[in-house]
A and B are shown apart, each in its own frame.
Chain A
Amino acid sequence: MRWFWIDRITYLDKGKTARAVKNVSLAEEHLHDHFPGYPVMPQSLMIEGMAQTSGVLAGSTVDYKANIILAKVSKATFYRLVRPGDQLIFESHLVTSSPEGHRAETTITCEGELVAESSMMFVNLNSGPEKEGVFVFTDAFMQLLRECPNFDPDASGGPGGRDG
């Protein structure tokens, strides 16, 4: 199992907006325990998906060359249950960005209906790649990013584009 709670990044406007999609499948092991006979996607994993979507966005401000980590979930509100077969759309906006950190606001919708919303803080770690390497934006993570239709690896995000 890999720790990805978004399946595909569908849109990236560097430093401004990111969108991702997640298809919830009954093949996911944990859904059989949460809960037996009534599978529901855990809200903690929706938070992880929102953190991954907004982390992609925050990472675009440093061209994925430094480590940026989730530091605080200021707010997370959930409005409905998510069940197998649901397709979640994550949309994240970078509200504020500085050399120290970022604040992002993210929503999850399913068929146009609001599922959840959050406000999160990220910090840029001081240790540069020369010290510890970039352990946040790994090769596997960058592969996910390269599949985004408007991700330009040369421009490390490039200008905005249309959803794929």
Chain B
Amino acid sequence: MSDKEEIFSKVRESLVEALSVDDDEVTMEASLTRDLGAESIDFLDIVFRLEKSFGIKIPRGDLFPEDLLSNPEYVQDGRLNRAGLVELQKRLPYADLTAFKENPAVGNLGDVFTVGMIVNYVDSRAGKA
């Protein structure tokens, strides 16, 4: 099993427990909110479980930078502006923002948070360790 497969397996285990979903629902492409039904409190639950599972500390807003949405510097008329998108890409270098950039409405940000994004995040953290 490659490192990434091993990370995925542990991430899936955390998500199955935190979100009460089935193993086969947790795919790399699955969005936490749209496909797996995550709500705001679940993000903290997921962070806690990942920290325990991988023995890492995940600083607040590091994995799920929801704080961007309450910053008027980055949000205008319910959408992330150019500065917001630049900041989001900076904060989430491991996330695929291609689809989100086409319609950067605040309500769509949840779609960016995919299982694959978490796997890439943990992988990047492991690389730094």
Per-residue contact bits, chain A 60-77, to B (CB 8 Å; 1 contact, 0 not): 000000000001101100
Complex partner residue of A96 from B42, B48, B60, CB under 8 angstroms: B48
Per-residue contact bits, chain A 31-73, to B (CB 8 Å; 1 contact, 0 not): 0000000000000000000000000000000000000000110
* A72-B41, A95-B52, A98-B48 known, 5 other contacts, Cβ within 8 Å: A74-B17, A96-B52, A99-B60, A100-B60, A123-B44
> Once the chains bind, are A71 and B48 in contact (CB under 8 Å)?
no
* Chain B: interface size category: 10 to 19
Is there a chain A Cβ closer than 8 Å to B87's Cβ? no
Also in contact, A103 and B60, with CB within 8 A (given A74-B17, A95-B52): no
> Once the chains bind, are B44 and A74 in contact (CB under 8 Å)?
no
Query: Closest A-chain residue to B44, C-beta based?
Result: A101
The 8 A-B residue pairs whose C-beta atoms are closest, nearest first, are: A96-B48, A71-B41, A72-B41, A103-B48, A101-B44, A121-B45, A100-B44, A121-B41
With contacts defined as CB atoms under 8 Å apart, how many contacts are there between chain A and chain B in the complex?
Answer: 33
Decide if the interface of chain A is mainly helix, strand, loop or mixed. Answer: strand
Which of chain B's residues 24-65 have a Cβ closer than 8 Å to chain A? Answer: 41-42, 44-45, 48, 51-52, 60
Using CB atoms and an 8 Å cutoff, list the residues of chain B in contact with chain A.
17-18, 20, 41-42, 44-45, 48, 51-52, 60
Taking CB atoms, residues of chain B closer than 8 Å to A75 are 17, 20
* Chain A: interface size category: 10 to 19
A77 to chain B, nearest CB (A): 12
Query: Closest B-chain residue to A99, C-beta based?
Result: B60
A-B contact pairs, 10 of them (CB 8 A): A71-B44, A72-B42, A74-B18, A74-B20, A75-B17, A95-B48, A95-B52, A101-B41, A103-B48, A123-B44
Complex Cα gap A71–B52 (Å): 20
Complex Cα gap A98–B49 (Å): 12
